[in-house]
Amino acid sequence: MKNIIIITLSLLTSSQLRAQENKFLSDFVERLENSRKYLLLVADMMPEEKYDYKVTPESLSFSENLMHIGFALDWHSQSLLGGREARVYQTDTIFKPANKTKDEMMVRIDQTFSEAIKLLQEFDANKLDDHLDYFGLERSKRQISMLLADHITHHRGQMLVAMRLNGLTPPRYVLYQ
């Protein structure tokens, strides 16, 4: 009887942990969906003729920030979480704004979010505790996900400053993105 109780408790605890992991993934997917909507609003509100605007000479331009978000989203999701070989930022053309219209950049960003969300919806929650080298630091795939969200927010914030400096009022902030 004692063994049955221990096995039952072990199975319950294991099931609860899996449910928590799946909840993390579903919460994170919701966050990415909201982040996508807000980022696309920001990108749409900036006039195309201002896409090359830089807050300072050493800053990324509005379009470079937008496409850098896409590159990082692709790298964190597809390469770090999904295991696909990483693109090389210096030679990549998919996520460089050169020769791309505003609409083309927005389509690329939207598609990249869709790909990341699909990967996360199919992601094995048991792998969230797998660890990777992240710029010399050991980080779990769960931490990689959170770093991705921070990175999007960081560069989107730079885009919002560019909008303000061009006399534009960014879209109202929506929580949980």
Q: Is residue 4 part of a domain?
A: no
Tokens of 145: 């996900």
Q: Evaluate if residue 120 carries a pLDDT over 80.
A: yes
Q: In this structure, are residues 108 and 67 in contact, taking their beta carbons and an 8 Å threshold?
A: yes
Residues 6+ apart with CB under 8 A from 96: 67
Adjacent-strand bridge partners of 138: 133
| Host H or E run for residue 43 | helix 2-45
pLDDT, residue 8, reads 54
pLDDT, residue 17, reads 46
Residues 6+ apart with CB under 8 A from 132: 80, 138, 139, 140, 141, 144
The domain tally of the chain equals: 1
Q: Is residue 103 part of a domain?
A: yes
Q: Evaluate if residue 172 carries a pLDDT over 60.
A: yes
Q: Is residue 174 part of a domain?
A: no
Q: Is residue 8 part of a domain?
A: no
Residue 76 marked as a ligand binder: no
- Residue 137, classified by CB atoms within 10 Å of its CB into exposed (0-12), middle (13-18) or buried (19+), is exposed
Residue 155 marked as a ligand binder: yes
Domain span at residue 77 reads 25-165
Q: Pick the more confident residue, 134 or 2.
A: 134
Residues 6+ apart with CB under 8 A from 33: 113, 117
Distance CA 69, CA 74 (A): 9
CATH of the domain at 32: 1.20.120.450
Q: Is residue 63 part of a domain?
A: yes
Q: Is residue 69 part of a domain?
A: yes
Q: Is residue 152 part of a domain?
A: yes
Residue range 133-148, pLDDT digits in tens: 999 999 999 999 999 9
Q: In this structure, are residues 31 and 145 in contact, taking their beta carbons and an 8 Å threshold?
A: no
Cα Rg of the chain (Å, integer): 19
